[in-house]
Structure 1
Amino acid sequence: MTNSANSASRKARWITLVAAGAAVASLAAGALPVSAAERTPAPVTEALRPHRGSVHTAAPAELMAPGAVASGTMVRAGSGSGIRWTGATGPLSQDPEANFRIGSITKLFTSTVVLQLIGEGRFTLDTPVQELLPGTLPAHWQPITVGGLLSHTSGLQLPCVPFERGERPAPEQVIAHWTAPTCAAPQYPVLTQQYNGANYFLLGMVIEKTTGRTYAEEVRLRIARPLGLRHTYSPRPGDGSLPAPALADPSEIDPWAWAEGGMVSNAPDLDRFLTSLLRGRLLRPAQQRQLFTMPALSEGNRDRFSMAGLMRHEVDGTVVWGKTGSMGRSTSGVFATERGARTVVYSLVPATKDGELMRAHIDKLVEAALRDHGTGGSGL
């Protein structure tokens, strides 16, 4: 999503749904509202804390210092042996393990549950969503597959029917707005990968229809409980609260993004989740391969998503995998090298509307977090 689209989201409530917290599908998640961007940067509340004997350089501290790009930052840099360093600065929280709305990082939890159901034989990547959710999409539309939803190659267009500010639509209402007769139908043949939150609202509905349980229950039973993620959950509809300590002001949170962008977690839980996912602890081998299989339609795109909706990004020539998300004032991300040898979770409050500048800043932050600082390692 462009900066202009993010600006428009303050006036048109429905734009938030397009990214529901992942204001863009890139590391430089979009601009934040003017009121937040114009705030005076808060003083540093906590320095970086090295762990397990690692020695951090000045680079991460400089990147985390409140300034013209970000007014506050939380970072957790990990490895297979534990935390290497972590810290929080500015107006986020003094606790780098605080809870926060993870925005579109939620999509990774949704895709994981969907891939588990595929592994159980409930449906396949090629199953049309019209078979799983009869009557949900217009009858004259061509079939849209589960795989198309996961990889953002469904052809679904952006919404055209606005919601009123403060509305809390059910998933069925969201899709009805996306597929109204006045909205553009999917374009066939699909020629490019187009990041779209509607894909994951539909996948959330598929999860509930297939299992007979709520999306929140499936995430808890299949991911949070087995991995011991004590701070990770999908809130009840309309619940905008955050358990303390929190990284954001709950009054600024939109609690309705659901399977597309509504979950709560914290840095340690996200680190454990992504590491477990990349190391094959949550999926069967056939579905594990989908994590790193890139659809042909992703070629040439600046931001690329695998068949499982995992973001592929290059940092200093090294491929990392993960997801970004935004909610309220903050934009966040979780990334790791392919086997989880190096991990980073970040959340920051942008102080600029310049998406390119923010993207470059986050790239530097991720690169610094994924490197060995003073430990004699070889880098990423």
Structure 2
Amino acid sequence: MTTNSANSVSRKARWITLVAAGAAVASLTIGALPASAQSLQGPASAAGASTVLGHRPSVDEEALAKAMAPGGVAAGTMVRISGPGVRWTKATGPLSPDPAASFRIGSMTKMFTSTVVLQLVAEGRFTLDTPIREVLPETVPAHWKPITIGQLLSHTSGLGLPCEPLADGLGLTPERVVHAWTGCAAAPESPVTAQQYNGANYFLLGLAIEKVTGRTYAEEVQRRIARPLGLRHTYVPQAGDSSMPTPSLDAPSPKEPWAWAEGGMISNAPDMERFTRALLGGRLLPPAQQSRLFAVPPLAKASKQPYSAGGLAFHRLSDGTEVWGKTGSMAQYTSGVFGTADGRRVVTYSFLPGPAATKDAVIGHVTGIVEAAL
């Protein structure tokens, strides 16, 4: 989830859309890739220097050249691809050409949150069937039908829109954000009939992480993921911290919304590649929890933007290859990371949508990049 706007919009509208709706460009919502290959648009435009080993081209450089050329859909694009025998990286337009440039990863943060949650499940701190109210009694009203940890992970909690206004991200706390969804809202419909992407789910999970570990969410991400994997450019900034490391893909914003455990992290393409390869390749989770990453909840099968039981977006390429990962937007940039199920081939991208970019054009840009890369 996270909001991205190429035009100026009010902070209040931006924040509410950010938490409630998922990655968006202006008023466009792009929570995941399309559910079927038939919905793909053709690759849209910039050849990059590549080193390809083996008997076949590992990336479609012609398609990437078209997709990455600055134009109406994107003013600039960064793409990094790695896998057996391939290392390919390129940035076009105003984006930094430095392959280690940091950027705000938006809802890709949810991959870190779900990983920590599944680790805690493996440790017996709670189960996927544990009602969140057992962990956080003051959040979900007692008269609601229980919402479980697993439902929050898979966006099947039934939580809808907030019932309280949320102004600027600065000065907010996770508790205030959660209260906007649970303090005055009617109970979610029961039974839940659709998978509904909602950042509030991951604010609740972030609070659950802090409650059962006794440490902050940022500390747990560093202790469990960033330090073990050597992710030196990956961290959770504090609320109100609008600074960006040097080099950075995008310029700092004086007042960025703060999305914490559901969309607030900063990283770079090499770190996201390493994390995604480790996650999909089974290095971060025991087998029982690893299987949740690729399990498809029944409610997801009818969704146009499906998510796995572990919160990953998934997509089948035109050649039948299944890819898994997450999109996210923040600070006017739309980004994402996707990999093959074994984690051996990974693509990370970030781009600055043009002011006239439509929803379909942006989806086509993303799917064109992923098709050409994987």
Which TM-score applies when normalising by structure 1? 0.87
2:342 to 324, 339, 343: 339
SS of match in other structure, 2:327: strand
**How far did residue 9 of structure 1 move?**
6.2
Q: Distance in 2 between matches of 1:70 and 1:96?
A: 19
SS of match in other structure, 2:294: coil
**How far did residue 75 of structure 1 move?**
0.2
Asked whether the equivalents of residues 74 and 346 of structure 1 are also in contact (C-alpha less than 8 Å), the reply is yes
After the TM superposition, which residues 312-331 of structure 1 pair with which residues of structure 2 at under 5 Å, given as runs? 312-316=314-318, 317-331=320-334
Residues 301, 203 of structure 1: alpha-carbon distance in 2 compared, 3 angstrom cutoff? same
Cα deviations by residue, 1:42-66 (Å, 9 ceiling, x for unpaired): xx9x962213558663221221110
1:307 to 304, 309, 321: 309
2:363 to 338, 344, 359: 359
The residue type equivalent to 1:219 in the other structure is: V
Task: Find the counterpart in structure 2 of residue 105 from structure 1.
Answer: 108
Q: Distance in 1 between matches of 2:62 and 2:191?
A: 50
Q: Distance in 2 between matches of 1:325 and 1:179?
A: 25
Task: Find the counterpart in structure 1 of residue 146 from structure 2.
Answer: 143
Residues 234, 167 of structure 1: alpha-carbon distance in 2 compared, 3 angstrom cutoff? closer
Task: Find the counterpart in structure 2 of residue 32 from structure 1.
Answer: none
Residues 128, 250 of structure 1: alpha-carbon distance in 2 compared, 3 angstrom cutoff? same
Asked whether the equivalents of residues 105 and 329 of structure 2 are also in contact (C-alpha less than 8 Å), the reply is yes
**How far did residue 160 of structure 1 move?**
3.0
After the TM superposition, which residues 1-380 of structure 1 pair with which residues of structure 2 at under 5 Å, given as runs? 10=10, 12=13, 13-19=15-21, 21=23, 23-27=29-33, 48-51=48-51, 57-81=61-85, 83-165=86-168, 167-181=170-184, 183-251=185-253, 254-316=256-318, 317-351=320-354, 352-370=356-374
Structure 1 alignment gaps of length 5 or more: 29-43, 371-380
Q: How many residues align?
A: 352
Q: Distance in 2 between matches of 1:247 and 1:241?
A: 13
The residue type equivalent to 2:193 in the other structure is: L
Structure 1 stretch 3-12 or stretch 63-72: which is displaced more?
Answer: 3-12
Structure 1 stretch 4-13 or stretch 59-68: which is displaced more?
Answer: 4-13
**How far did residue 328 of structure 1 move?**
1.2
SS of match in other structure, 1:334: strand
**How far did residue 161 of structure 1 move?**
1.8
**How far did residue 253 of structure 1 move?**
6.0
Residues 8, 210 of structure 1: alpha-carbon distance in 2 compared, 3 angstrom cutoff? farther
Q: Distance in 1 between matches of 2:246 and 2:133?
A: 41
Two-structure CA RMSD over aligned residues (Å): 2.5
Q: Distance in 2 between matches of 1:8 and 1:188?
A: 38
Asked whether the equivalents of residues 20 and 103 of structure 1 are also in contact (C-alpha less than 8 Å), the reply is no
The residue type equivalent to 2:32 in the other structure is: S
Q: Distance in 2 between matches of 1:4 and 1:160?
A: 22
Task: Find the counterpart in structure 1 of residue 40 from structure 2.
Answer: none
Asked whether the equivalents of residues 296 and 307 of structure 2 are also in contact (C-alpha less than 8 Å), the reply is yes
Percent identity, please.
57
**How far did residue 238 of structure 1 move?**
1.4
The residue type equivalent to 1:25 in the other structure is: G
The residue type equivalent to 1:122 in the other structure is: R
**How far did residue 113 of structure 1 move?**
0.1
Which TM-score applies when normalising by structure 2? 0.88
Residues 325, 4 of structure 1: alpha-carbon distance in 2 compared, 3 angstrom cutoff? closer
The residue type equivalent to 2:92 in the other structure is: T
Cα deviations by residue, 1:242-270 (Å, 9 ceiling, x for unpaired): 10111112116625100000001000110
Residues 166, 237 of structure 1: alpha-carbon distance in 2 compared, 3 angstrom cutoff? closer
The residue type equivalent to 1:172 in the other structure is: E
